[in-house]
Structures are given as C-alpha cells and as structure tokens.
Chains A and B, each alone.
Chain A
C-alpha cells in the first residue's frame, strides 16, 4: 500500500509547521470529529437529504485536508459534489469508499499516536 496516498505524513507535519505535538493534537481531534462527520453523511444519505450529505461531506473534507490524506480527500470531495448535485444513487458507493479510506487513515493515525513517529 502506498502509505503517502493514505496519509502524507511529511506534508501533514509541514502543514503543522513541523510541530509534532500539534500534529498529534490534530490527529486525536480528527479521530473524534471525522467519525461523527462520516456518521452524519451516512445518516443524510439514508434520509435522502442531499443538502445534509453535501454539508457533512464538506465538513469532513475540511478536516481531511488538515491530515493530508490524498485518497480520502478525493473520495470525500466526490461525495460532497454528488450531494450537491443530488446524485444520491451514485453517492452510496462513494460513501462506502470514504468509510473504507477513513478506516485506513484512522489506523495510521492510531499507530502514530500509540507508537510515535517513524525514525
């Protein structure tokens, strides 16, 4: 697996001005918030609420950007677009893809939080 496609740690640290403590703080926050945000997106999808889906995906996209997770970002961006366009049928598989990629990112972040940065 291309690890930088899941989470570009170098870029993410650069975005945090090289501050590892800040990055870990953001990572912990991301673990909490992104779980809530993807749950909101799925709930909106189940309720056929395309505006709610777009809003939840947009919010998730903002936090993903901070983590520098390129594949997750692209999926989330696509989900927001479909929600905005009202293409809910097409949104189902994209939402599933976002959930899968989010699990990948969470795993990397948990590893970093627990084990520290690779030397």
Chain B
C-alpha cells in the first residue's frame, strides 16, 4: 500500500527518465518532514533529481559536495535558517552563483526585500499550486543554466588566455633566439683590418630587424662592405635579409663572380632576388675599398644612405638614383669611384635613422644627420654614432624607432709613419 517510503535526508531520491546529463538536481532544505516529503515527491514527479536536508547547515554541506542546479530552502528552520543559509551561499566561492528559491509564508514587501537582500533569488509559497511550483522551478533552473554556461565560458576563456600567454612566451623566446642569431651575423666592432676602425649601432624596430650590414676582409688589399634594407619588418623581413646576407658572403661572391666588384654583385643579386609575390624587395649598397690606394668603388640598388665624412673637406653622399633589387631583371647598376684620405669616415646607414619622425610627423632628415656627423669629427667614431642615435631619439621623443635603424661607420686611421696601411 505504501509505496512512498520517506527518502532519507542527505541522500538522492527520484527516478527521472532520460540521460543523466539532462537531469537537473534540486536540493530541498526543509525541517518539517511532511512538507519536505510532499514537496520532494512533487518535484520527483516532474522528473528532477532531489537531494534533501533538514536544516541549512546540513544543506550547505550537501550543496558544497554536489553543486545542485537549484536550491529550494525553507525560511524558518532550526540550526541554520533559510536567510542565514542564503548569506552563507553568497559568501561561498563555490556556491555563490547558485539559484535559491526561498520557501515561505512571509510575503510582505519588507520580508521579500529582506529575503532578496540576504541572497534569495525568488520565493515559493508553501501553499503554491503545482503550476506555480513548476513555473518558479523552471525559471530558477533556466537562470542556473545560463549562469553555469557563463561560468564555463569564463573558465574556458581563462584557460585560453593561459595557453595564449604560454604560446606568446614561446614565440618571444624563439624571436629572441633568432634575434641573437641575426646579431651574431653582424661584424665585430674594432679593427677588421690594420688601418681601419669599425663601429656601429643597430636598433631593430621589432625583436627581429630586416636591415643588415657587414664589413669583410676580402684579401690583404681589399675590404668589402654593404648595407641592405628589406622592405617590411619582423620575422619575414629578417629571414629574407639573412638569405641575402648569405649570398653576400665573401667566399660565396668570390666563388661565383671572381671578385667583389660592387656592380657585378648588384647585378647578380638583382637576378637572384626578384620582387616577391607579396611585393617585398631589398635596397642594397655595396662597396669595395682598395686599401693600398684608399680607392672606394661602390654601387647602389635603390639605397640612398652612405655618407663620406671627409677629415679635411665637406661631407658628401655617395649615391645616385637606381631601382631596388628585383624590380627589373635586366637592370644595370653603375659603379662609381671615390678616393678616400686617411682619417676619412664612411657611414652606411639605413633610412630608419634619418626618417625618425617628430611628434608633429616631421622627419629628422639626412641634413640633420649630416650635421651630427660633421659636428663629431673630433670625437671617436663610436661616440659620433651614439650621438646620432641620441639626437634622433630626442627628435622623435621616443626610445624606439618606428623602422629598423642602423648606422655603420668605418674610419681610416693614419699610420704612424705618415702613410696608410704600410
């Protein structure tokens, strides 16, 4: 006759149909056994999984262990009443977003306000009809699902952020390694050969730069030098520049062309490094210094930045209009010659240094660069180059340049005997 045995407090009851994942769990906290059994039976009949507790303290412990979808709590109970339970839930990090239906016969505006202030989400009259119970439970569960979804999305977002930060750290570490490699390709400062001093300063706009340069001993009488500028910045530009740099190595050029003739070097580079599908290209200035005569032959492919700072006379720019590499496969690059004198300085520079913009977008310009070079004739080569960077940074009022900035200086040092290089 009696098929409705009273469910034990703190245990799961109910025989809902359907898959486990689709069943909402409701924790019913009520001290009066008849009322609790009655409400539990009605909710089970609606298909929910029901947990039961006889006071707020037991309910709180059960809620922490099971994280039910909805909490239905009696207002007046011994040990811990419904309002105290609501406050405890809102303070609990694990439970604070739970939906709480407060069961009560108290329905004055002041009592409802107190219930809401202390943490209830909605109210359920003890004399509520079946329809009202269904409506309020469904509303509570709907909100609970939305809150849970929001929490899950938030958790996923946090996980994604952690993963992203890890990946960014890995990428940054890779970039630092690549930057160290690129920097290792640059020449050592000091004296690459007797009678020549080399100094440079280089600041890529990003971790990896696309402007590279070298000063190389070709043989006892010849010094090769170049500066190249890849369009664009970053990893892609740096990789393309490293490729061109490999091509420009002395042993490679000598094996391929028999000499480091700037005209031939540019012609071959132009042939081997055509404009990329994305429109990327290089500008390149190549020089060869014959040390016994101090004769410099040079050629430029669209590169406009080499300044000869004469110890005795005015400075002059060693360049003339030409296409960058890759624009015209049949392009010819004119070789020029200039005679240097002891104590002359030659500066190879990328446009990033003199195109530093002021806050009002006015470029620093080659004229101002030349003024700093001329003013530094009496100071050391490295100090003059450092001064260039310092003044350019002051001009743009920023530490970092928007483009790769490089200045390479070589100085012909006079020999003690009065001649050069013996």
- For A17, the chain B residues whose CB sits under 8 A away are 42, 45, 130
A26: chain B residues within 8 A (beta carbon): 4, 34, 37-38
Q: Render B400-418 as a binary contact track against A, CB cut-off 8 A, 1 for contact.
A: 0000000000000000000
**Which A residues, 42 to 75, have Cβ-Cβ distances below 8 Å to chain B?**
55, 58-59, 62-63, 65-67
| Interchain CB contact under 8 A, A29 and B41 | no
B34 and A67 contact, CB distance less than 8 A: yes
Interface string of B264-303 (1 = CB under 8 A from A): 0000000000000000000000000000000000000000
Kindly identify, within residues 161 to 210 of chain B, every residue whose CB is under 8 Å from any CB belonging to chain A.
none
A25 within 8 A of partner (CB): yes
CA distance A63 to B92 in the complex (A): 32
> What number of A residues sit within 8 Å (CB to CB) of B?
22
Closest chain-A Cβ to B186's Cβ sits at a distance in Å of 86
A24 to B4, CA, bound (A): 8
Q: Which of B6, B42, B78, B126 contacts A62 (CB 8 A)?
A: B126
A4 nearest CB across to chain B (Å): 17
Bound form: Cα–Cα A62–B1 in Å? 25
- B3 located at the interface, meaning its Cβ lies under 8 Å from any Cβ of chain A in the complex: yes
Q: A59-B32, A65-B126 are in contact. Are A25 and B6 (CB under 8 A)?
A: yes
Known: A15-B38, A26-B37, A62-B126. A21 touches B2 (CB 8 A): yes
Q: Is B31 at the interface (CB under 8 A from chain A)?
A: yes
A107 at the interface (CB under 8 A from B): no
Given contacts A21-B1, A21-B3, contact A62 B37 (CB under 8 A): no
Which residues of chain B come closer than 8 Å to A22, judged between CB atoms?
A: 4, 38, 41
Given contact pairs A17-B45, A33-B33, A66 touches B38 in the complex (Cβ within 8 A):
yes
Q: Give the chain A neighbours of B41 by CB distance below 8 A.
A: 16, 19, 22, 25
CA distance A86 to B5 in the complex (A): 38
Confirm or deny: B238 has a beta carbon within 8 angstroms of a beta carbon on chain A. no
B76 contacts the other chain (CB 8 A) = yes
Give Cα A66 to B76, complex, Å.
17
Please indicate the chain B residues that have their CB under 8 angstroms from the CB of A65 in the complex: 35, 126-127
Question: Is A28 engaged at the interface, CB distance under 8 Å to the other chain?
Answer: yes
Check B45 against A62 for contact (C-beta < 8 Å).
no
Interface size class of B (residues with CB under 8 A): 20 to 34
A20 closest partner in B (C-beta): B1
- Most interface-central of B1, B4, B5, B31 (chain A CB within 10 A): B4
B374 to chain A, nearest CB (A): 98
User: Do B76 and A58 have beta carbons less than 8 Å apart?
Assistant: yes
- List chain A residues, Cβ under 8 A from B2: 21, 24-25, 28
Chain B residues with CB under 8 A of A30? 34
Interface residue ranges of B112-146 to A (CB < 8 Å): 126-127, 130
Name B46's closest neighbour in chain A (CB-CB).
A17
B76–A55 touching, CB < 8 Å = yes
Return B104 CB to nearest CB of chain A, in Å: 11
- Complex CA–CA separation, A55 to B32 (angstroms): 11
CA distance A22 to B33 in the complex (A): 13
CB–CB B5/A25 < 8 A: yes
Whether the pair B35, A63 counts as a contact (CB closer than 8 A) is yes
In chain A, what residue has the closest Cβ to B44? A22
Q: Mark B1-32, 1 if CB is under 8 A from A, else 0.
A: 11111100000000000000000000000111
CB-defined contacts of B130 to chain A, threshold 8 Å: 17
A16 touches B38 (CB 8 A): yes
Q: Which residue of B lies closest to A54 (CB)?
A: B76
The reply to whether B1 and A66 form a contact with Cβ atoms under 8 Å apart is no
A24 to B34, CA, bound (A): 11
Residues of chain A contacted by B127 (CB below 8 angstroms): 65
Contacts of A67 in B (CB 8 A): 34
| B36-82 at interface with A (beta carbon < 8 Å) | 37-38, 41-42, 45, 76, 78
CB nearest neighbor in A for B32: A62
Give the complex CA separation of A62 and B32 in angstroms.
7
Chain A residue numbers with a CB within 8 Å of B35 are 62-63, 65-66
Cross-interface CB contact of B37 among A15, A29, A55, cutoff 8 Å: A29
Q: Give 13 A-B contacts (CB < 8 Å), ordered by A residue.
A: A15-B38, A16-B38, A21-B3, A25-B2, A25-B37, A25-B41, A26-B34, A29-B33, A33-B33, A63-B34, A66-B34, A66-B35, A67-B34
Residues of chain A touching chain B, judged by Cβ–Cβ distance below 8 Å, are 15-17, 19, 21-22, 24-26, 28-30, 33-34, 55, 58-59, 62-63, 65-67
A22-B41, A24-B2 known, 14 other contacts, Cβ within 8 Å: A17-B45, A19-B45, A24-B4, A25-B6, A26-B34, A29-B33, A33-B34, A34-B34, A55-B76, A62-B32, A62-B34, A62-B35, A65-B126, A66-B35
* Chain B contacts to A: CB under 8 angstroms: 1-6, 30-35, 37-38, 41-42, 45, 76, 78, 126-127, 130
